[in-house]
Structure 1
Amino acid sequence: MGLLSSLGITSPPPPKTTAPDRSERAKCWESRDLFFSCLDKNDILDSIKDSDAANKECGAQLKGFERDCASSWVEYFKKRRVQEYKKAKLLEQMEAEGGQPLNAVAVAAEQASKK
């Protein structure tokens, strides 16, 4: 028994190091979807850049999201939301300008046949 434990001082338990199971992932995704739905209703795209507005309008959903997901997942999902939006807008712009989507497998096969 150490000195600190004899004084009634205990250290917090170590952080969870196992990967989340299926039900924990589902709970995380549900919380993420609730938070993102709130952001959509309030026309907030980037909850990192617009953190004040996101906290004001969707604070309860954000707390649930942060509680139910690993912090690395929260950051990843927030950044991915912005990336997916930019990707969709770029594709819309390219299609409006007459661009055609490329099939990567077909392009690779065509390039290989030219060699």
Structure 2
Amino acid sequence: MGWSPFGSSDDSGPRKTSGGAFEKPSRTNRAKCYEARDAFFECLDRNNILDSINSKAGRAATASACGKADQEFEKNCAHSWVEYFKKQRVVNYQKEQTIKKIEAEGGEIIAPQLPLKK
């Protein structure tokens, strides 16, 4: 068996079409992806790791503390989803911190409103 850059020949992950693109995920595949993502993020939380993608130190800490969970996450989700979820985790944290800072300074978060037609 030769080396494959796409992981093992296990059929539990996202499948590719004959053209090389990923098939549209089924409800079951999405559920497996979300479960793997949640398990990976729980591992990151337990080990106080926020950014598992953008920094060299974060990638190293993730590999040593949550390597198995990361492999399951990458096996069960399309690469674009994995990258999106990892980046979105950081963005959501930064957004939460900004909101807390504004509220601590006495500011108020007001959602923008669409203009009304006259």
Taking structure 1 as the reference length, what is the TM-score of the superposition? 0.78
1:66 aligns with 2:74: yes
Higher RCO (CA-CA < 8 Å; seq separation 6+): 2
Q: Which consecutive residues of structure 2, in runs of 5 or more, have no partner in the other structure?
A: 1-16
Partner of 1:41: 46
Counterparts of residues 97-108 of structure 1 (less than 5 Å): 97-105=105-113, 108=114
* Pair 1:82 & 2:64 matched: no
8 Å CA contact 2:22, 2:78 repeated in 1 = no
Amino acid at match of 1:23: T
Distance 2:64 2:111 in 1: 43
Q: In 1, Cα distance between the equivalents of 2:110 and 2:40?
A: 33
AA matched with 1:36: F
Cα distance, 1:101 vs structure 2:
1.5
Q: Residues of 2 paired with 1:86 and 1:99: CA distance?
A: 17
User: 2 CA distance for matches of 1:76 and 1:88?
Assistant: 18
Work out the CA distance in 1 between the residues paired with 2:96 and 2:24: 31
* Partner Cα separation in structure 1 for residue 25 and residue 60 of structure 2: 30
TM-score with structure 2 length normalisation? 0.76
Q: CA deviation at 1:16?
A: 4.8
Structure 1 CA distance, aligned partners of 2:102 and 2:27? 38
Q: Which amino acid aligns with 1:19?
A: K
- Count residues with an aligned counterpart: 98
Higher helix share: 1
Of 44, 64, 67, which aligns to 1:56?
A: 64
**What is the CA–CA distance in structure 2 between the aligned matches of 1:90 and 1:19, rounded to whole Å?**
36
Which SS does the other structure have where 1:81 is aligned? Answer: helix
